[in-house]
Amino acid sequence: MVQLRGWNDPDPAEVHHPTTDAEWDAALSRYLGSLNDAPLRRCVEVARSHGAATVVVETRYLDIDYRSEFSAYYSRQFADVPDSAHRLHFFGRQLEPQSLWRLGNEHDYIGYVVVRPASTGLVSRALLPPPPDLASAVRTSVTEPVNFFGRQLEIRGVPFAQQDAQLGACAQAAAWMCHFAAYLRGDTARRTKADFSLKADASLHPSRALPSGGPVAVKVFETASHYVDTIFGCGVGGLIHAAVGSFGGCGGLLNRLGLAA
């Protein structure tokens, strides 16, 4: 389980310089051992593949997406869930704690992972470069400005979000990733992750419960139209109907995507 005791400490950050697998596990020990820590481990693996030499754990991070989920769901639970997240920053060179507020020009910033205090889904969002062996195949990377203790940094990569199996399932996470990439390209206004659950049309599946049990395949067709409207907010959901029809209906589309049962 995620260690929530002392979640906001140390304030404002802690700095680690792990080199071995054991040292990386020690640096991330408060998160590991949750119900599903594999996505976080994979994010760390990607950062390490880019030569990560320092991880800065920014505590008390007020992440707009986790805060939306906290307001909509976690704050209503019979549990003491922190209202802030952690943001893990990865650098390709060693940084000392005293240099966080006066970062030099040569910092080798790799990217970040926002960790929420949720054992069912640690990674609220992340932006990292693709693994070196996949970099040439990526066609959807975007650039995001990152405020690091007052210093404006920049990272180019592909957005990632982990479903928490509570407020959001895989459909919401996938829709948000598409949305965030569109937002960073300047194609649409920013929407929070909770919007992708709260603004879903309940009539599409009236028995859908919270916590979410996941999407129902037969409703993918209708739900896709709604999510496109949610992502872009421009009433283009009808285009999905035409696109799906060109594949021979919902079943044909799922077969083409390799998602058919």
Q: What pLDDT, on the 0 to 100 scale, is given for residue 227?
A: 56
pTM for the model: 0.81
**What pLDDT, in 10s, does the model give residues 225-256?**
555 665 555 444 444 444 445 555 445 544 54
Residue 154's DSSP bridge partners are: 145
Secondary structure, 3-state, 91-130: ECCCCCHHHCCCCCCCCCEEEEEEECCCCCCCEEEEEECC
Q: What pLDDT, on the 0 to 100 scale, is given for residue 244?
A: 46
Q: What pLDDT, on the 0 to 100 scale, is given for residue 260?
A: 45
Q: What pLDDT, on the 0 to 100 scale, is given for residue 239?
A: 44
Q: What pLDDT, on the 0 to 100 scale, is given for residue 259?
A: 45
Q: Is residue 156 within 8 Å of residue 109, measured between CB atoms?
A: no
Q: What pLDDT, on the 0 to 100 scale, is given for residue 234?
A: 45
pLDDT-flagged residues of the chain (< 70)? 200-261
First and final CA of the chain: distance in angstroms? 32
Q: What pLDDT, on the 0 to 100 scale, is given for residue 233?
A: 53
Q: What pLDDT, on the 0 to 100 scale, is given for residue 207?
A: 54
Q: What pLDDT, on the 0 to 100 scale, is given for residue 217?
A: 46
Contacts with 49 (C-beta within 8 Å, 6 or more apart), sequence order: 131, 132
Contacts with 248 (C-beta within 8 Å, 6 or more apart), sequence order: none
Q: What pLDDT, on the 0 to 100 scale, is given for residue 219?
A: 45
Q: Is residue 232 within 8 Å of residue 196, measured between CB atoms?
A: no
